[in-house]
């Protein structure tokens, strides 16, 4: 996709991205992961991480059932082999093999003959969308159930049915996957996504797929930050990771939860609990200069694993990048969140947004003007000769030089300068590079 010789920086990778090619790669990976029956524990998560491990250097960690993790306990491991509802003619009218959404996730094993009236309390549908199968879970209460389309539910004749859920709920493990890309600094950028949903695409195979390609692109360039990618079951996985890594947590300087990145809606960013963390300001900057509509919104203590990362005892600078946020599209948690609901172009745009954000994080720095008394004479130093393009472009580049010189007093980062000048970060960064080359600027320690 990108010739190795040009892989100099994250900015180069972002600029060279072939959106059509990468969109197809992101989409095809979702297609490979889609059939797997995942839950918060069990072989579905393992199989998913095994597939991701064929592309990434993934460290797998198994945490035993019963392990205390803050106020929670790692639950028993759930696995399922088969499930069905069979009518009196021996036909499977609901079959787990046709869709893994048919079984309420974490259903305890059952094998019984029931009348329709007895079965009904265990059947779930969506009357407003009569052809869709809902996605339901019962992680923390021992029960069982089936999900089916309302059309099918309404058409089930009275009579006796054989129900079978061939599942197991036993002591085992919760599985976490982690990929770490070492940078020059031990300070970390933390990327997290949940891997506990069965055959659902936007929520959240889209986030998983974007994270994998992002990691494969970043590992090809020299990095300032260390990047940690966490693939974990929602809620309990994030809580478990935080409990096992508490001493490590202060290294996290910026973070993103990736979720719902494949639908055709516009990009949305949910700020960290802090609201003004560098990641919040960075995404706002990228959105301001995007060619299409983007939205930002404030933190709220519901949603994905930002609930854990932004709990008051951690209060990490972690926001959420999505397109249409969870729960705000009717297909959410239904069989309609399928391969047709996600689009290669939306996935590619989400990946590019991640790269643009990382480009700013990597390139941000604090500089000092070495000639702070009045403006230096740029012409004498040959700086005008470095300005290219048309006269408008030259004027903008000159303005960038003046902004960087004026605000580089040791208290403003390049992101501060980009925000105040309303110029794109890359232009400010290029101006700083030119000024350093001409001896007019020196780099102070990079901000965290």
Return residues touching Zn ion (CB under 5 A). Answer: 203
Nearer to Zn ion, 203 or 263 (CB): 203
Q: Which tokens is 175 given?
A: 């599985």
Residue 179 CB, shortest distance to Zn ion, in Å, is 22
What tokens does 255 get? Answer: 């973070």
Whole-angstrom distance, CA of residue 378 vs CA of residue 401: 9
Question: Do the beta carbons of residue 198 and residue 337 sit within 8 Å?
Answer: no
Tell me whether residue 203 or residue 331 sits nearer to Zn ion (CB atom). Answer: 203
In the complex with Zn ion, the residue whose CB is nearer, 342 or 423, is 342
The SS3 call for residue 166 is: strand
Judged by CB, which is closer to Zn ion: 278, or 321?
Answer: 321
Q: What's the rounded Cα separation, in Å, for the pair 234 and 257?
A: 11
Nearer to Zn ion, 99 or 397 (CB): 99
Q: How far is the CB of 196 from Zn ion (least distance, A)?
A: 8
Distance of closest approach, residue 330 Cβ to Zn ion, in angstroms: 14
- Which of 245, 259, 255, 247 minimizes the C-alpha distance to 225? 255
The token duo for 305 is 């694993």
State how far the Cα of 445 lies from the Cα of 138, in Å rounded to an integer. Answer: 50
Please, what is the minimum distance in Å from the beta carbon of residue 429 to Zn ion? 37
Q: Which residues contact 39 (CB under 8 A, 6 or more apart)?
A: 45, 78, 105, 106, 137, 139, 196, 198, 233
CB 249 within 8 A of CB 242: yes
Q: What is the nearest approach in angstroms of Zn ion to the Cβ of residue 283?
A: 22
Nearer to Zn ion, 137 or 213 (CB): 137
Q: How far apart are CA 54 and CA 115, in angstroms?
A: 47
Distance of closest approach, residue 442 Cβ to Zn ion, in angstroms: 49
Place of tokens 């047709």: 340
Q: How far is the CB of 203 from Zn ion (least distance, A)?
A: 4
* Closer residue to Zn ion in complex, CB, 178/203: 203
């Amino acid at each position: 996709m990108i010739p190795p010789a040009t892989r100099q920086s994250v900015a180069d990778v972002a600029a060279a991205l072939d959106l059509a090619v990468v969109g197809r790669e992101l989409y095809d990976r979702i297609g490979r992961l889609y059939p797997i029956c995942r839950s918060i524990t069990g072989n579905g998560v393992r199989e998913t991480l095994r597939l991701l491990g064929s592309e990434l250097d993934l460290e797998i960690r198994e945490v035993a059932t019963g392990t205390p993790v803050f106020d929670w306990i790692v639950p028993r491991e759930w696995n399922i082999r088969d499930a069905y509802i069979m009518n009196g003619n021996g036909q499977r009218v609901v079959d787990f093999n046709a869709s893994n959404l048919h079984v309420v996730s974490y259903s305890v094993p059952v094998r019984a003959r029931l009348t329709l009236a007895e079965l009904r309390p265990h059947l779930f549908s969506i009357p407003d969308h009569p052809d869709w199968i809902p996605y339901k879970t019962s992680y923390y209460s021992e029960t069982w159930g089936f999900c089916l389309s309302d059309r099918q539910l309404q058409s089930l004749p009275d009579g006796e049915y054989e129900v079978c859920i061939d599942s197991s709920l036993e002591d085992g493990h919760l599985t976490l996957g982690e990929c770490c890309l070492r940078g020059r600094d031990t300070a970390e950028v933390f990327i997290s996504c949940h891997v506990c949903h069965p055959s659902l695409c936007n929520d959240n195979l889209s986030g998983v797929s974007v994270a994998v390609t992002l990691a494969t692109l970043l590992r090809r360039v020299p990095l300032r930050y260390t990047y940690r990618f966490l693939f974990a079951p929602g809620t309990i996985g994030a809580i478990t990771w935080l409990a096992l890594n508490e001493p490590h947590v202060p290294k996290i300087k910026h973070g993103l939860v990736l979720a719902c990145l494949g639908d055709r809606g516009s990009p949305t960013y949910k700020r960290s609990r802090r609201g003004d963390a560098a990641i919040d300001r960075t995404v706002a900057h990228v959105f301001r200069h995007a060619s299409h509509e983007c939205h930002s919104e404030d933190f709220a203590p519901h949603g994905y694993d930002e609930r854990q990362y932004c709990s008051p005892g951690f209060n990490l600078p972690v926001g959420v990048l999505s397109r249409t946020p969870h729960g705000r599209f009717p297909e959410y948690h239904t069989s309609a969140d399928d391969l047709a609901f996600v689009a290669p172009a939306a996935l590619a745009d989400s990946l590019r947004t991640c790269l643009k954000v990382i480009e700013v994080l990597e390139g941000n720095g604090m500089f000092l003007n070495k000639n702070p008394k009045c403006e230096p004479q740029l012409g004498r130093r040959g700086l005008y000769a470095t300005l290219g393009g048309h006269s408008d472009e030259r004027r903008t580049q000159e303005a960038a030089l003046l902004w960087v010189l004026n605000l580089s007093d040791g208290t403003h980062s390049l992101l501060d300068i980009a925000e105040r000048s309303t110029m794109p970060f890359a232009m400010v960064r290029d101006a700083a590079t030119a000024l350093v080359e001409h001896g007019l600027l020196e780099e102070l320690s990079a901000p965290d």
